[in-house]
Structures are given as structure tokens and as C-alpha cells.
Amino acid sequence: MEHIEQVVKKRFEVRSSRLCEFCKELDPEFPHRHPLDQMVGASRKSTASAHLTEDGYVRHRIVELNRLVSRAPRNAA
């Protein structure tokens, strides 16, 4: 990886990771995901962009959007 700029190289380094607490709590399909799709970088919050894979990111965003849609409208009487 010597030919890759240091800034770009840092993006690909993942020294440690952990399960995404947000997805683990709110996604009923979480246990069935590929293990890498469950993981976020250890030094980051449980956000979509912290996921290690694109599929993990997309599934996280879907859970966020479903959560927003399922909330009652603020103007509901």
C-alpha cells in the first residue's frame, strides 16, 4: 500500500471494531446479517457511516428511515 496516499490509506485501516448498538437494538434481521455488515469502527459512534461495509451502511440507513416513518406525525390530534 506504499503507493496510496497516507490520508486514503488511513480510511482503509481498521484496527478494531465492534457491533453496531443501534442496529443490534432496532433491526430484527441483525443476527442474520453477514458478520462484517454488523460491525462499526471501534473509535466511532454507531452511525451509518461508521459501518465497515456498504451493505452495513445501507441497512443502518434503512433502519433509521423506517424508524422515522413509523413515528406519529407531530401535528396529529
What is the Cα 43 distance to its own chain's centre? 13
Domain-located, residue 10: no
Q: Please give the tally of structural domains in the chain.
A: 1
- Rounded CA gap, 36 and 72, in Å? 33
Q: Pull the grid cell for residue 70.
A: 413509523
Domain-located, residue 24: yes
Q: Is the dihedral of CA 51, 30, 46, 40 positive or negative?
A: negative
| Structural domain of 52 | 15-70
Lookup result for grid cell 488511513: 10
Domain-located, residue 40: yes
| 10-residue averages of pLDDT along the chain (77 residues) | 48 72 96 94 90 96 94 68
Domain-located, residue 77: no
Residue-wise pLDDT for 9-31, tens only, equals 455 455 688 999 999 999 999 99
Domain-located, residue 48: yes
Q: CA nearest 44: which of 25, 62, 18, 10? A: 18
